[in-house]
Structure 1
């Protein structure tokens, strides 16, 4: 089936990392992709909100700052994919208090499986820029989106790999629907010949309650990854037992800078002391326990992170 993604962009600097993410999502003739890219612009003054569709071969109806750069970059990417990717480009100009409604409406109309939104803190050559208004937009999309959502924390490593041969992706898997969604996305990436995936399965020794249905679902997708990666040297799987949040932090900090991109789930259904301890100093709750740990101001992580939330479709 065609895999449909809606990618949001606040600033043109996010263009290269979004394109890199689409590349490693592995669009092929058998597994094509349809991408809806929306440049989000804050409406100022008394103008009427607009959603402009930039159709190929037609003159632009609206010229916004940076939009032409974004459009040209994605058109070039589409051409290089030789028909495996179709890109539809939009510019949305609305108040940031309601622009999430346009994003969610478009995701529902186009039946997308995943919405990608950039984190409100942007790592750039001149330093870190904070798009404060984007944070509330992201939170609203997490709450309202009719499909799964990924928040992309771009530190530059998602644009260019340190390894000329392979693009290294690490997935921290504990349990729950969000972790399964992150691993499901990783399974698609693992089919790319230039991608190496490492799954680190965190065995939560502090977990007191066990939902056997959830455990079966976790085991099913782990088994699927093992079968798919069997005999492929670039992929690996390992289990790590952790007793508490100190163990968890120690483990993650020991390997976090070994990758070009890290995938994590956003939240966990069970009440585990392993994650409860991390809420005390949570800086960015919208990223969940692991995402916050990898992104907070005192983190030593220099790698891009994609935080995934599975969403149940709603009317």
Structure 2
């Protein structure tokens, strides 16, 4: 279980720039402090097309910006810039951007190998649906379901599937008042204990109220 007084390592997966506001709001809720900083590995997931080979690109944020050569690079540049700005405006956060270019059916291998190599406590992947204007949910790409299922089956650590139901730029955390209510459902096991540790971390944010509910086996003999 990750300790709250140590650096919290998390691998965040992104399909498109639309995922950025929700993920940044979630990271803001993670309550970074000098005693408990966060190390974030941002992984832009790109489908491999054509005859090019699969690759993992580690971006050097210290290099000057260059004009994007294609749409994929433009998206990666946008993602990198967004999280660089977040890193500069929030203390105790270090951001490491990467891009994984691979077929959808093997993309989970890149995610899991990177998580193991960087010894992260959590992998966060976007849900395969996004919220519509009327409050419903619509699928983005059905291939995302397979990616998420494969990550859940093979990950070396705990996995969180981020479902955006309003945790975006229009519904930001307010520091001086409770603006979000979080429910933690605890059934038992190492993944739930890891999730409980994360929930306690979030609960220390002044803008969040936490309710933890433990479920225990009942007596079936009536």
Shorter-chain TM-score range: 0.7 to 0.9
Give the superposition deviation at 1:205. 2.5
Give the superposition deviation at 1:161. 5.0
The partner residue of 2:37 within 32, 36, 52 is: 32
Separation (CA, whole Å) in 2 of partners of 1:11 and 1:156: 17
Separation (CA, whole Å) in 2 of partners of 1:110 and 1:94: 19
Kindly provide the CA deviation profile for residues 193-244 of structure 1, in whole angstroms up to 9, marking residues without a partner as x: 2221112334542568xxxxxxxxxxxxxxxxxxxxxxxxxxxxxxxxxx9x
Structure 2: 5+ residue stretches without partners: 1-5
Match of 2:79 in 1: 70
Give the superposition deviation at 1:131. 1.3
Match of 1:255 in 2: none
- 1:1-315 superposed matches below 5 A: 1-58=6-63, 59=65, 63=70, 64=72, 65-82=74-91, 84-125=92-133, 128-157=138-167, 159=169, 160=171, 165-166=177-178, 167-205=180-218
Kindly provide the CA deviation profile for residues 33-74 of structure 1, in whole angstroms up to 9, marking residues without a partner as x: 100000101011111112112211214687515222211111
TM-score (norm 1): 0.60
TM-score (norm 2): 0.84
Q: How many residues align?
A: 208
Separation (CA, whole Å) in 2 of partners of 1:73 and 1:102: 23
Larger RCO (alpha carbons 8 Å, 6+ apart): 2
SS at match of 1:108: helix
Structure 1: 5+ residue stretches without partners: 209-242, 244-315
CA RMSD, aligned part only?
2.5
Contact between 1:71 and 1:89, CA under 8 Å: does it hold in 2?
yes
